[in-house]
Amino acid sequence: MKKILLLLLCAGPLFAQAQDPLVDKLADEVEPKVIEWRRWIHQHPELSNREYETGKMVAEHLRSLGIEVTYPVAHTGVKGVLRGGKPGPVVALRADMDALPVTERVDVPFASKVRSTYLGQEVGVMHACGHDSHTAILMGVAEVLAKMRDQLPGTVVFIFQPAEEGAPPGEEGGAELMVKEGVLENPKVDVIFGLHISSGLEVGKIRYKPGGALAASDRFVVKIHGKQTHGSRPWAGVDPITVAGQVITGLQTIVSRQMDLTNEAVVISVGKIQGGVRSNIIPEEVEMIGTIRTLDTAMQRQVHRAIPRMVQNIAEAHGATAEVDIQIGYPVTYNDPELTEAMVPTLKKVAGDKNVILSKAITGAEDFSFYAREVPGLFFFLGGMPKGQDPATAPPHHTPDFYIDESGFKLGVRALANLTLDYMRAHQ
């Protein structure tokens, strides 16, 4: 593989400079469909492992193109195999399909009105991270490449994945389950490409980073056990709420005082805290749930050792006890450096040199990491912010006001199609 990639490094700038007029023409033709598909998916969002209608829609579209379809995979996922007219490598392209338990506030005609149940609570459901865009873009890429089938020197595997945001408690799902069920086998995938729309990156731009691009994401649950008493007599009990406050502060000192932040970033955040029933009762127990983000596996292990030590010692100092459960989540999303360097000329070809930005790692996480752990991968960000908008004013992902400018979708189609073709042509 290294010899092949080094050959591609030398050949890349030579073959990647010429535009492919057929890809551009087909991307122009499919753009209205991509927007229409995206709007339908946006208006009909489905939570993780519940993407029934989205999966059916994707499978029907791929079948209509003459693509071999396996459905369902990993509950509601879809695998499509497009065999080209010439021998060559196997390139996988991935999109995620699930939505989030967020109630939409964006004033668009296709806004989601869907309600569902999440962790026992009634919630709004919204594509607040752009997975509807990813699915529609990859459906467009499938149509473009299917029309070029006879010219393809290789095979394309289309992966439409459920549950990127995480499977519901007690269920398996997402990229890890897709890999487990053999989505990268039969045919055996050589490389994989994926994209993520960004509400804070201007339309027409692409952002990438070789090596560790997105953080590993782990979940922790802390239960602090005290002694219940009347709120007017705290000395008669052990207050787990007070202990929880100390624990939250202590966790932040792990980041600020125990981690070498000149190496890589580390984040520890408590996202949920629950305890007590009324104002004048000090409860017996408090539960805290949080996330750990790391970009270095050695630092990840260090954090996993430090959290139980910090929590349990603080609890003991107050006469309480504590349980800590750290649940391993997504690995670091790692862009193969040689593959990335080889394919950057393709990204510059489709977006323009000035619009392809080398960026720093971010502490968001992506389960694309499970694919890139198995085969060389490249995962990049596609601009979805309206031109001229200040990124500081762009609503973040996972929020009710999340908004994407659809004029950036065609670049996504062209980028994935050209990455596929250029890689294949270099390896035929």
To the query of whether residue 71 is one of the catalytic residues in this protein, the response is no
Q: According to the model, what pLDDT value does residue 20 have?
A: 85
Measured between alpha carbons, how far is 95 from 161 in angstroms, rounded to an integer? 6
Judge whether 406 counts as a catalytic residue: yes
Amino acid at 194: G
Number of Cβ within 10 Å of residue 37's Cβ equals 24
Assess whether pLDDT exceeds 80 at residue 10.
Answer: no
Q: Where in the chain is the domain with CATH 3.30.70.360?
A: 216-330
Q: Is the pLDDT of residue 3 over 50?
A: no
Q: How many CA atoms lie within 13 A of 177 on its CB side?
A: 20
**CA pair distance 58, 53, nearest whole angstrom:** 9
d(CA 127, CA 341): 32
Determine what percent of the chain is predicted with pLDDT higher than 90.
95
Query: Has this prediction a pTM greater than 0.75?
Result: yes
Over residues 322-348, the mean pLDDT reads 97
Mean pLDDT, rounded, for 376-391:
98
Q: Which helix (H) or strand (E) holds 145?
A: helix 131-146
Tell me the one-letter amino acid at 335.
Answer: N
Mean pLDDT (whole number) for 153-179? 97
Over residues 271-311, the pLDDT tens digits come to 999 999 999 999 999 999 999 999 999 999 999 999 999 99
Which one of the listed residues 46, 208, 330, 334 is annotated catalytic?
330
Segments in 262-336 forming alpha helices (H)? 297-317
Q: Is the pLDDT of residue 1 over 80?
A: no
Domain(s) of CATH 3.40.630.10: residues in the chain: 2-215+332-427
The SS3 assignment for 148 reads coil
The 3-state DSSP class for residue 133 equals helix
Decide: helix, strand or coil at residue 318.
Answer: coil
As assigned by CATH, the class of the 216-330 domain is alpha beta
Q: Is the pLDDT of residue 146 over 60?
A: yes
DSSP string, 346-414: HHHHHH-GGGEEE---BS---TTHHHHTTS-EEEEEEEEEPTT--GGGSPPTTSTT----GGGHHHHHH
Packed helices 52-64 and 131-146: angle between N→C axes, nearest 10 degrees = 10
CATH 3.40.630.30 fits 2-215+332-427, yes or no: no
pLDDT for 18? 61
Amino acid occupying residue 311? V
Which one from 31, 172, 338, 406 is the annotated catalytic residue?
406
CA atoms of 233 and 310, how far apart (whole Å)? 28
